[in-house]
Amino acid sequence: MTTIRTTNFFPALGAGATPLDIATAPENPLRLLESWVDHVMAIEAVEPMFVTLATASASGVVSSRTVQLLAIEEDTTLFTTNFGSRKGVEMLETGRVAVSLYWRETAQSVNFTGSVEDDRGVQASRVASFHGRDLPDEAAHLAKFQALVESGEPIARPDYWKWFRVRVDAVTFWEGHPESMNRRIHYALKDGAWSKGMVQA
Ligand SMILES: Cc1cc2nc3c(=O)[nH]c(=O)nc-3n(C[C@H](O)[C@H](O)[C@H](O)COP(=O)(O)O)c2cc1C
């Protein structure tokens, strides 16, 4: 049996990252998320946009997985998935998700929750693949994909593969500081207005 030992090491804010400051934190947390993303992009952090997306079934059974955060918009974040997948079915059942991300380069983390909005306007092209289905013959699958690519025919967009937006309604920003004097700011949306405050970390 392998025993995994934790150490006292705790990450601290990366050089060049702007420390969290409640005095200057923007009114809308998505603007802060954008500025953090701009920074991790600028320093070429490793795969900075892969995040954990958690969902729950109507009966309260929870699940999570890695997805790509594709865009941050005015009040929403954008993702894409197969709505026949477990997460897709659960999002349809509850209309809610939680998202977590952590960047080791800056020792910053963001957790947010929100409601799911189907985006019919932007459909991803996923014809050859039905995500999550058994793949008994990979060669045939690849041949089908190749034939489709080479056919020159217009590629239809299947309706199960959808972009979706998360309309964000609560966000917590966390960053590591030396001696575990970590810093957290929590935002909550109520009646259309954001409030924010520091939380002991
Ligand atoms: C780095 C990485 C990025 C991924 N990005 C997505 C994504 O953007 N959308 C998606 O549906 N699945 C993505 N996946 C696959 C999911 O993690 C998951 O395996 C799949 O969507 C099925 O999840 P579910 O059965 O819980 O719904 C990604 C996996 C990894 C490791």
Q: Please state the domain extents for the chain.
A: 29-126+154-200
Q: What is the pLDDT along the chain (201 residues), one digit of tens a residue?
A: 677 666 556 778 888 888 899 999 999 999 999 999 999 999 999 999 999 999 999 999 999 999 999 999 999 999 999 999 999 999 999 999 999 999 999 999 999 999 999 764 444 334 555 556 677 778 887 887 777 777 877 766 677 788 899 999 999 999 998 777 789 999 999 999 999 999 877
CA–centroid distance, 65 to ligand 1, in Å, is: 6
Q: What is the position in ligand 1's atom list of the atom closest to the CA of 55?
A: 26
For a mutational test of ligand 1's pocket, the pick from 53, 68, 99, i.e. the residue with the most ligand atoms closer than 8 A to its C-beta, is: 68
Dihedral angle, C-alpha 3, 174, 187, 121, nearest 10 °: -80
10 contact partners, CB below 8 Å, separation of at least 6? 176, 180, 182
Q: Which of 18, 91, 99, 1 is nearest to 51 (CA)?
A: 99
| Predicted pLDDT of residue 150 | 79
- Please say whether the dihedral angle defined by the alpha carbons of residues 96, 186, 38 and 49, taken in this order, is positive or negative: negative
- Topology of 29-126+154-200 in CATH? Pnp Oxidase; Chain A (2.30.110)
Q: Which of 52, 63, 66 to mutate to test the pocket of ligand 1 (most atoms within 8 A of CB)?
A: 66
79: region left, alpha or beta (phi > 0 left; psi from -120 to 50 alpha) = beta
Q: Is the CB of 10 under 6 A from ligand 1?
A: no
Q: Is the CB of 141 under 6 A from ligand 1?
A: no
Give residue 48 CA to ligand 1 midpoint distance, Å: 15
